[in-house]
A and B are shown apart, each in its own frame.
Chain A
Amino acid sequence: MRRAILAAIVLVTGLLVLLDLMVVNPSLDDAAGAVNELLVLLAAAAAVGGGVTLVAFHARNLAARDGDSSGSIVLLVGMAAILLAGLRPGSSGSSDPAVLWLVAALLAPIAASVFALLFVFLLRAFRRGFALRVRETSLMAGAAALVMVLLLPIGGQAGDWLASGAGWMRDVPLAGVFRGLLIGIGILVAVSAARSLLALDGDDE
């Protein structure tokens, strides 16, 4: 019964939003707008709930001296610093100079550095991959090396050839595989959503 009610809510909501896209009708527009407002509220509640759960989890870790204490301390202090800068009396929120400083001087360089470290870690992962799964790693490394050669920043005629090769690689094989993946994922999601809505999954009975 509970499942049927949930399925009915999802079905009606989805149909309402779809109809609003296809039919111009003020009443439908208002109803779809109300559903959308509810979604926004739900997303905000989920974000706040996620933040509170994260704080509770790390506070519990610290109290029980369980897990990575220094990591928990850094996370809680970081959250407190941002919240204090953005919510203290007289603050202008995300445009406050203290928040801007925290973002520009700490958050952005740290995030960019972590991404830059991927270069080193990826090479190490390849090295380990060669020891574990030679065939798959060789294929991946070969493709990566080929793309890198095509993207080498060389000028002149050779550079033009390499760049057109890189463009072909991106537009034909890579885009084809990516589109195939997206279409496959889309079909799978649609089928599993339909099965859930129509209560066709036997083990849920």
Chain B
Amino acid sequence: MTSSQQPLVTAERLASLRRAAPVLLLLLVLVAASLVSAGTHGLRLASPDRSRVDQLRLAIGNLPDDALVLIACDADLGTYPEIRATTRVAIDDLAAHQARLAIVSFTPEGRAIAAAERDRISRGGRVEPPADLGFVAGAEAGLVRSVASIVPAAAEGTIADAIRQRGGGIGAFDMVLIVSGSDISARSWVEQVGSRLPDLPLISIAPTFLAPELEPYLRTGQLTALLATLREGIAYTAAVSAGSPSSPGPTPGPLPMLIGMLAAIGALAEAAFRRLVRRRGRPPRNGRLPS
């Protein structure tokens, strides 16, 4: 009796494994690099240009005593890991400046992230979690509505009462920290809130893909401060944690970043070179060989 079962190791499987080998190897190298990254000398991920960091620190430092600060958390689940460490450090920085914090979201993803961050702060127990103003439906229309009223009817506590005493809208706050995402970013805030409340300072933390869109608002002063690249975020994290006894938590290291970037540059160069070699080997279109 002969068996019709396919052998476990076929030529096709071996070939596909061989094709995937470089990617697996790169992943292994990146994992190893992230483990030894803390001790690498000669590498620097933090941006050497400190102007953006200083702007943000100045904006937070200029807050009045017992300032009310609104955290507008509308990040995306996909890009939030890039700005997570910076956002957490900024919340700690605000709390260290005795700011009274409240958190609100205008997107469902932002709400999920905000709830998770509040839960993390509650469990940490170091600082008081921001007052929860929940989710406001209607995207930009909801943002406009919040200019007049942002506190949910059921909200209780000293911060909710303080916001109500100051009018109950976004104007009650001394500053807004916008954690930007693709749906609602600092641009929406400048357009919808900045035009109605021009004296309200708006600061933002944004993933890199939003930087070209938000830069002009920083230059015109419509945004008071902006951290929109990973390197600026790392520089801010380092600056804040230098004067703080608490750890900023895990931040990306330069070595895995360097290896990933070199691998990408190498892969691009290899693809271009391969194409060039193929073109050289191909006979000319008119059928005549070059003299």
Of A59-67, A70-78, A122-130, A187-195, the one with at least 4 CB within 8 A of chain B: A122-130
Residues of A within 8 A of B268 (CB): 123, 126, 141, 144-145
Query: Contact between B44 and A159 (Cβ–Cβ < 8 Å)?
Result: yes
Query: Contact between A160 and B48 (Cβ–Cβ < 8 Å)?
Result: yes
Q: Which residue of B lies closest to A151 (CB)?
A: B261
Decide: A40 near B141, CB < 8 A? Known: A115-B78, A151-B261. Answer: yes
Query: Contact between A153 and B257 (Cβ–Cβ < 8 Å)?
Result: yes
Q: Which residue of B lies closest to A41 (CB)?
A: B138
Residues of B within 8 A of A141 (CB): 268, 271-272
Query: Contact between A145 and B79 (Cβ–Cβ < 8 Å)?
Result: no
Residues of A within 8 A of B257 (CB): 153
Interface size on A, residues (CB 8 A): 55
Interface hub of A94, A99, A164 (most chain B Cβ within 10 A): A94
Decide: A94 near B112, CB < 8 A? Known: A123-B268, A127-B271, A149-B265. Answer: yes
Minimum CB–CB distance for A18 against chain B, Å: 11
Residues of A at under 8 Å CB distance from B?
A: 21, 33, 36-37, 39-41, 43-44, 47, 94-95, 97, 99-100, 103-104, 107-108, 111-112, 114-115, 119-120, 123, 126-127, 130-131, 134, 138, 141, 144-145, 148-149, 151-156, 159-160, 163-164, 167, 170-171, 174-175, 178-179, 182
Residues of B within 8 A of A145 (CB): 265, 268-269
Interface status of B267 (Cβ within 8 A of chain A): yes
Minimum CB–CB distance for B44 against chain A, Å: 4
Residues of B within 8 A of A167 (CB): 49
Residues of B within 8 A of A120 (CB): 23
Of B90-98, B155-163, B208-216, the one with at least 4 CB within 8 A of chain A: B208-216
Minimum CB–CB distance for A190 against chain B, Å: 15
Decide: A179 near B260, CB < 8 A? Known: A40-B141, A95-B119, A153-B254. Answer: no
Interface size on B, residues (CB 8 A): 57
Residues of B at under 8 Å CB distance from A?
A: 23, 41-45, 47-49, 76-81, 111-113, 115-116, 118-119, 132, 134-135, 137-139, 141-142, 144-145, 148, 195-196, 211-213, 215-216, 231, 254, 257-258, 260-262, 264-265, 267-269, 271-272, 274-275, 279
Given A21, A33, A111, A155, which contacts B77 in the complex, CB threshold below 8 Å?
Answer: A111
Query: Contact between B264 and A163 (Cβ–Cβ < 8 Å)?
Result: no
State the majority secondary structure of interface residues on B.
Answer: helix
Q: Please, how many angstroms separate the alpha-carbon atoms of A157 and B111 in the complex?
A: 43
Given A94, A153, A179, which contacts B258 in the complex, CB threshold below 8 Å?
Answer: A153
State the majority secondary structure of interface residues on A.
Answer: helix
Q: Please, how many angstroms separate the alpha-carbon atoms of A155 and B47 in the complex?
A: 10
Query: Contact between A130 and B196 (Cβ–Cβ < 8 Å)?
Result: no
Residues of A within 8 A of B272 (CB): 130, 138, 141
Q: Please, how many angstroms separate the alpha-carbon atoms of A99 and B135 in the complex?
A: 14
Decide: A148 near B264, CB < 8 A? Known: A171-B215, A178-B212. Answer: yes
Q: Please, how many angstroms separate the alpha-carbon atoms of A47 and B108 in the complex?
A: 11
Q: Please, how many angstroms separate the alpha-carbon atoms of A182 and B145 in the complex?
A: 26
6 pairs of A and B residues whose beta carbons are closest in the complex: A40-B138, A111-B77, A155-B44, A39-B141, A153-B254, A178-B212
Residues of B within 8 A of A94 (CB): 111-112, 115, 134-135
Query: Contact between B265 and A21 (Cβ–Cβ < 8 Å)?
Result: no
Given A152, A159, A174, which contacts B261 in the complex, CB threshold below 8 Å?
Answer: A152
Residues of B within 8 A of A107 (CB): 77, 112
